[in-house]
Structure 1
């Protein structure tokens, strides 16, 4: 497990989970940077950098010198909003990073493989992260804060078969989501893994390494999570999305060849 403090950027830092991710990152001793659109709404305990995650040109300062990025952003509106925010934030941040080696923790959602406009754009964001070749963990949490007071025992599952669209798909506290996201940044056992996250009756575990270690890694050359249903063919995707995925992968492969 990595123990040296990191410089961590939190994307979506003013959101309900982003603020908790900032707190958790600071608590763990990381140098923490919060990306915000308005400095007046900045979370406490972090260095603040102003930028718009939907505009790549505004993100250079945010990603400069970072070791890790936690994505907690999310849209709540139209399909166009989902494209600009859920997908666009990942695309723009990775493009601004270029070839720099940075650890990624990306939050999407349980049920992401069930087709909806919002889910599809989140899933495309996941694919960009996998195509980028950076060390990553992708967390798909259940319904935020629907857990009962005695439901804190964490469960990590794979395959994304919970498609009911309600709390029966899994429940989890916002604070535990933030804890898992930040913990994954320094866990070798969490590297290259995608999982659904929920809590069931019982106390929280003392540590996360056994949970991370029991998960299957994603295929090194795959675009989807290891056990996901294959219901989103790449050749049926929008041409711009295919192009951006291929550009992202080509940039990584070029970097790999140079390092040999």
Structure 2
């Protein structure tokens, strides 16, 4: 069945996953809008078929024009770890700022695919600070009222050359903090993110993705459809461990969730 072409905004478009998402979406016949800080630099690493829009997720005023008219948004944000590019300012607040821009639009609102990480619910690993902010970004997406898919990939490009068969998991129980949790190719992550935008069975799902021996499935629809949907109104994914109580969260995080919910209800 032919897929209706979409206008897809890619946030994090020049990153190692984002640029592959841009290429995959174009290959699938979608019109791609790449959000970039520096258009001149972006043209050197992204396909010329993309439409470049200047903006920065840490500067909310630059985002309304970028999201206007988008049918779908793929969020592949990744911080450098410190300062103005910390997990809070980029991985979390960047998602918040995009959602704020989106929910100020008139209907129809875009569908969202958010990439976070396997182990996002871990509270004790060496990556805990980063993972906690990624988990908070997931909660914002679930609270937004938008149609969404949240993908938690394993370790990038540590899979073997014959390991491209996708396995989708739920419950986020692989928590070694290393490649033993699962590995997956960046190109396969991009394919799953783009496929999720049009697959009915991907709506409202959160899952971890890893690769096993074999080729990637030609049709990802059955994999999406076999997943359980996140409980309506829940901040966390289906079967996630309840180990981040809302009343223990920073006040600014709770305020953000209240603001997203208020916009959804209005």
Q: TM-score w.r.t. structure 1 length? A: 0.95
Query: Is residue 93 of structure 1 aligned with residue 98 of structure 2?
Result: yes
1:4-83 map, 5 Å? 4-42=4-42, 43-44=46-47, 45-78=49-82, 81-83=86-88
1:103 matched to 2:111? The reply is: yes
Q: Who is 2:153 aligned against? A: 141
The ranges of structure 1 where at least 4 consecutive aligned residues each deviate by more than 6 angstroms after the TM superposition are: none
* Equivalent runs, 1:218-237 vs 2, <5 Å: 218-237=230-249
For residue 40 of structure 1, report the CA deviation from its aligned partner: 1.8
Aligned partners of 1:172, 1:145: CA distance in 2, in Å? 6
Deviations 1:210-249 (A, max 9, x none): 1000000001110000110000000000111101101111
**Structure 2: unaligned runs, 5 residues or longer:** none
**C-alpha distance in structure 2 between counterparts of 1:204 and 1:155, whole Å:** 10
2: CA distance between counterparts of 1:99 and 1:132?
Answer: 11
CA RMSD of aligned residues (A): 1.3
CA distance in 1, matches of 2:221, 2:145: 23
The whole-number CA distance in structure 2 between the counterparts of 1:110 and 1:61 is 32
Query: Given the two structures, how large is their TM-score scaled by the length of structure 2?
Result: 0.93
* 2:160 pairs with 1:156: no
Residue of structure 2 in register with 1:257 after alignment: none
Give unmatched runs, 5+ long, in structure 1: 255-260
Instruction: From the superposition, tell whether residues 31 and 52 of structure 1 become closer, same or farther in structure 2 (CA, over 3 Å).
Output: same
Whether the 8 Å contact between 1:2 and 1:187 is mirrored in structure 2 is no
- The alignment partner of 1:154 has SS state of strand
- Superposed CA offset, 1:52-82 (max 9, x none): 1111111122111111000011113138700
* 1:41, distance to aligned residue in structure 2 (A): 2.2
